[in-house]
Amino acid sequence: MTRDWHASTPEDCAAALGADTTNGLSADEVARRLAADGPNQLRGKPPKRFVERFLTQLREPLIYILLGSGVVALALQEWVDASVIFLVVLINAVVGAVQEARAHSAIAALARQVSALAGVLRNGERLRVESAELVAGDIVLLEAGDRVPADLRLLRVRDLVVDEAMLTGESLPVGKSSMAVVQDAALVDRHCMAYAGTLALQGTATGLVVATGSRTELGRIAALIDAAPLIATPLTRRLAAFSNLMLWIILALAGLTFAVGLLRGESVQDMLMAAVALAVGAIPEGLPAALTITLAIGVGRMARRAAVIRRLPAVEALGSVTVICSDKTGTLTQNRMTVTELLVGGFGYTLHGAAGDEDGEIRPAGAAPTDNRALQPLLLAGVLCNDAQMRREAGQLVFSGDPTEWALLLAALRGGLDADTLRLRYPRLDELPFDARYQYMVTLNAGPDGHRMWAKGAMERVLAHCRYALDAHGTPVALNASAVHAAADEMAARGMRVLAFAYHTGGAAPLMRDALGDDWVFLGLQGMVDPPRGEAEQAVARCKAAGIRVVMITGDHAVTAAGIAGALGIGAATPRVVTGRELAALDADALRAVAGEVSVFARVEPEQKLRLVEALQARGDVVAMTGDGVNDAPALRQADIGVAMGRGGTDVAKESSDMVLTDDNFASIEAAVEEGRGVYDNLLKFIVWTLPTNFAEGVIILVAVLAGVTLPITPLQLSLIHI
């Protein structure tokens, strides 16, 4: 059944599936639905048997000539000649069949993204069952740490936060709720849904299974991967066209040789061997070996530059790339949320230092005072109203928890505060965890001056409870909400995620959201970004200088994408951003036009990434596509060269790619392209050298027949020379 589950109420969804949200399905009903819909497993097309793949490798024009020559040699009982010819064909076909087998491993990797066990409610009992046994209408009990086993319409939610990066490309975890959303909401905005393969980071929820197996979002992506063909590289496409031309030329010359010999009175057997000798001489049997050796050398050189090649032709394809479509998070950026700006006491401050590095400092911006007494309370709020943990291992800071909360702890550290000491000094007494419906978190902490409540969250929600603001002298004054809104808008326009902080003196457990009041003191704003990699800007500039266009395709917000693209020099100084919703409305012609003009695409879904790659290829571009999530896999397969991330990439992305970056760095792509161009140049030099040599051998046979003299060389001798 297909419907917009995210736009329907929980009651309507349960009614449509005949589900009992109190007791769950009965065992008999589960068995009936399992028999009708099949297990909750992903299935691709059955892989070809080795024999089928082997026979596919024989469907090449030059192979036809070699096979024909071998058959003629067998008919003439030239056993050694025939054996050598067939051996060359056999080696080439086996190597090709083995390489083709890798395409089917992506579906198997995708199936592993779904957890093995799931908590369900059946016959009024809580059970743990194999995820393959789930059916539409089952009631799933989701907890922190669980991998979502099927597509769920959330019925009841308590502080659930889900990491959907592998599916949507969203760089931050997503808070969930049970409230329906608009019908045309993008996948990343369907907060009432939890999709198979994603990971619950915190909280709990009860969900209704609405899709299993191939009907899930993961299943839809699996179908896209399964349907995507293995793209031939530019050189192999040119060689295929050249091979067709050579086929007719060689057949014509062989036929001419045979006919002339017969007219001169030569025997049919001698002329057949002459025709075979000409065909074997003209065909560059050594070309596949030379290609393999040259590409293998390129593989070794690229590995030393953090690029591991999974498919040999990809080396050559890199040398022909005209467009690099790059994901944002972790490839162009450091994949580490970092606080870079503060608004406190009415003044702005900037934080300096490498992402994840405790060495850094807070500097005044403009006329901001160096001694701002509101600064420490703002940083303190970021520590106390925070569930992340920070520790040192081997001299390095290690964080656990929400990446946004990591950034707050690091900002406090750069401001001279020690989180562990502060948490002991201000013990937490109670809390209201972050909830997507309310978009804020509140803690109640004891302290030397008594109890105090601390809040952090979306600016609009926190300001709604504030009447005062702390000024630079540490004194509460009347809140200027419009000034705060203006400052927050400026920070958001630069691609930042903005969090507001406030405190209230007093408070007692248990905390109640409807009893928080509206006389809180606003402390300030913290703006954070996933900063660009320092080397990425230089790599983008070098790509431009080499005639390669860089395109950013991300599942993140448009404003964030525009800010990072502008900082890296992708597109114009103020790049135009096209969203997935806008892409969905474009036909094929309009999409090709947009793909050629726009360099930044945001909130893009898996099939839209695939469409963008196809549109660029339709324009004649040779496309490299980077990615790390399941959502990237179809586009990675479709691209001329798919590039997966080695550190943060999913197994699905790696299995769908041609190349894996061991350092997840865009600069390594640029380095690999440089190496690929060197390999491409070497291959062309070899082809230019070997083809005249082979044709000269064929011409020698033809001249000998025309002159009526004994053949100067036999097919076996020619094959041995080529080997």
pLDDT tens across 178-201, in order?
Answer: 999 998 888 888 999 999 888 888
Task: Please give the average per-residue pLDDT across 87-97, as a whole number.
Answer: 67
Distance CA 693, CA 514 (A): 87
- Residue 515: pLDDT band with limits 50, 70, 90: confident
On the question of pLDDT at 76 being above 70, the answer is no
Same domain, 355 and 447: yes
Residue 504: what pLDDT?
96
| Chain segment 219-274, per-residue pLDDT in tens | 887 777 766 665 555 666 666 676 677 767 777 777 877 787 777 777 777 777 77
In a domain, 510, yes or no: yes
Residue 277: what pLDDT?
66
- Residue 378: pLDDT band with limits 50, 70, 90: very high
- Residue 285: pLDDT band with limits 50, 70, 90: low
| pLDDT-wise least confident of 37-41, 370-374, 489-493, 683-687 | 683-687
Q: 681 or 573: whose pLDDT is higher?
A: 681
On the question of pLDDT at 683 being above 60, the answer is yes
Task: Please give the average per-residue pLDDT across 595-622, as a whole number.
Answer: 90
Residue 473: what pLDDT?
94
Q: How many other CB atoms are there within 10 angstroms of residue 521's CB atom?
A: 20
Where does a domain end: 529, 558, 573? 529
Residue 480: what pLDDT?
95
Domain span at residue 352 reads 338-529
Same domain, 574 and 640: yes
On the question of pLDDT at 475 being above 90, the answer is yes
In a domain, 97, yes or no: no
Same domain, 321 and 355: no
Q: 651 or 219: whose pLDDT is higher?
A: 219
Residue 457: what pLDDT?
92
- Residue 165: pLDDT band with limits 50, 70, 90: confident
On the question of pLDDT at 512 being above 80, the answer is yes
Where does a domain end: 529, 562, 592? 529
Task: Please give the average per-residue pLDDT across 344-370, as a whole number.
Answer: 85
Distance CA 204, CA 630 (A): 24
Report the range out of 34-43, 50-59, 61-70, 106-115 with the highest average pLDDT.
Answer: 34-43
Cβ atoms of 479 and 469 closer than 8 Å: yes
Nearest-10 Cα torsion for 667, 669, 673, 674:
30
Same domain, 431 and 552: no
Q: Examine the residue annotation and report whether 327 is marked as an active-site residue of this protein.
A: yes
| pLDDT-wise least confident of 111-115, 141-145, 382-386, 558-562 | 111-115
In a domain, 216, yes or no: no
On the question of pLDDT at 115 being above 70, the answer is no
CATH code for position 623 = 3.40.50.1000
Same domain, 494 and 609: no
Classified as helix, coil or strand, 99 is: helix
On the question of pLDDT at 577 being above 70, the answer is yes
- Residue 717: pLDDT band with limits 50, 70, 90: low
* Domain tally, the chain: 3
Same domain, 524 and 583: no
Task: Please give the average per-residue pLDDT across 90-111, as a whole number.
Answer: 55
Distance CA 446, CA 427 (A): 6
Task: Please give the average per-residue pLDDT across 120-149, as a whole number.
Answer: 90
Task: Please give the average per-residue pLDDT across 641-650, as a whole number.
Answer: 76
Q: 173 or 651: whose pLDDT is higher?
A: 173
Task: Tell me the helix, strand and coil percentages in the chain, rounded to 5.
Answer: 45, 20, 30
Task: Please give the average per-residue pLDDT across 205-213, as a whole number.
Answer: 93
Residue 326: what pLDDT?
87
Same domain, 568 and 641: yes
In a domain, 54, yes or no: no
Per-residue tokens: 361: 């400092």
In a domain, 448, yes or no: yes
Q: 652 or 611: whose pLDDT is higher?
A: 611
Same domain, 638 and 610: yes
Task: Find residue 643's DSSP bridge partners.
Answer: 626, 659
In a domain, 251, yes or no: no
Same domain, 515 and 545: no
The single residue of 138, 159, 327, 658 carrying the catalytic annotation is 327
Residue 106: what pLDDT?
46
CATH code for position 197 = 2.70.150.10
Residue in the block written with tokens 């970092």: 338
In a domain, 123, yes or no: yes
Distance of CA 311 to the CA centre of its chain: 18
CB hemisphere CA count around 227 (13 angstroms): 10
**pTM > 0.95:** no
Measure Cα distances from 63 to 77, 99, 684, 695 in Å: 21, 18, 21, 17
In a domain, 691, yes or no: no
Nearest-10 Cα torsion for 88, 91, 92, 96:
170
- Residue 295: pLDDT band with limits 50, 70, 90: low
Task: Please give the average per-residue pLDDT across 288-310, as a whole number.
Answer: 68
CATH code for position 496 = 3.40.1110.10
Cβ atoms of 271 and 261 closer than 8 Å: yes
- Residue 399: pLDDT band with limits 50, 70, 90: confident
On the question of pLDDT at 157 being above 50, the answer is yes
Q: 481 or 56: whose pLDDT is higher?
A: 481
Same domain, 540 and 658: yes
On the question of pLDDT at 59 being above 60, the answer is yes
- Strands 151-163 and 199-211, by their bridges, are antiparallel
- Give the percent of the chain with pLDDT over 90: 33
Same domain, 388 and 427: yes
Where does a domain end: 211, 229, 254? 211
Same domain, 426 and 487: yes
